[in-house]
Amino acid sequence: MANFKKLLLVSDNHEDRQSIEDLIHIYEDDVDQMLHLGDSMFDDLDKIWQKMIPIKGNNDTGAGYIKNTVVSLGQAKIFASHGHKLDVYNTRAKLAEEAEKRGCQFACYGHTHVAMVEEVDGILVINPGSITLPRGPIAKKLYAILSVDENRRYQLNYFDHNHLEVKELSASGKF
């Protein structure tokens, strides 16, 4: 049986503290890392960031936020950015290019509040949507979990705010 490493992805809660606290409570023992892709609007030194990596969104202030980062998850490398400075409303090509420059197989972003997954120039690009203010064709409050194994397989699962899987967004494959 494969040993999966798991990364929780959440974004754009816009001051809704309860949704983030709930995710931490539910998943802190079940995932290897948690990544917030921006616009939490929490203080940059909030104790909640002891449990989650905080990316700076366009509505976040403070030097404690990270503009973008690379997260290692098993054999996978994931580029993380809020995306607002990479024109993600119009194209994900710049985001994929930044991921490729850093040797990443995945790129994750927030900002648009639109949950989606697509391959761009060989990079799997993921937006977990918004946990509180969803937009787009699947207008559900969402977050995602990316799992990777030692055989370079990935599984991406989306969940609604009731923690039920949203299968139409799920994806799997090799990286």
For the chain, domains (ranges, CATH) are: 5-174 (3.60.21.10)
Mean pLDDT of 132-136: 97
pLDDT classification of 2: cutoffs 50, 70, 90 = confident
Mean pLDDT of 26-52: 98
Please give the structure tokens belonging to residue 39.
């616009």
Q: Could you report the per-residue pLDDT of 3-19, keeping only the tens digit for each? A: 899 999 999 999 999 99
Whether pLDDT at 27 is above 80: yes
Look over the chain and give the mean of its residue pLDDT values, rounded to a whole number: 97
Length of the chain: 175
Whether pLDDT at 31 is above 70: yes
Whether pLDDT at 1 is above 50: no
Is the alpha carbon torsion for 135, 139, 140, 146 positive or negative?
negative
Mean pLDDT of 138-150: 97
The pLDDT value given to residue 129: 98
Write the CB contacts of 14 (distance below 8 Å, at least 6 apart in sequence).
39, 40, 41, 59, 130, 132, 133
pLDDT classification of 132: cutoffs 50, 70, 90 = very high
15 secondary structure, DSSP code? T
Task: Report CA 25 to chain centroid distance, whole Å.
Answer: 18
Measure the CA–CA gap between 76 and 93, rounded to whole angstroms: 20
The pLDDT value given to residue 104: 99
Mean pLDDT of 77-82: 99
Mean pLDDT of 93-98: 98
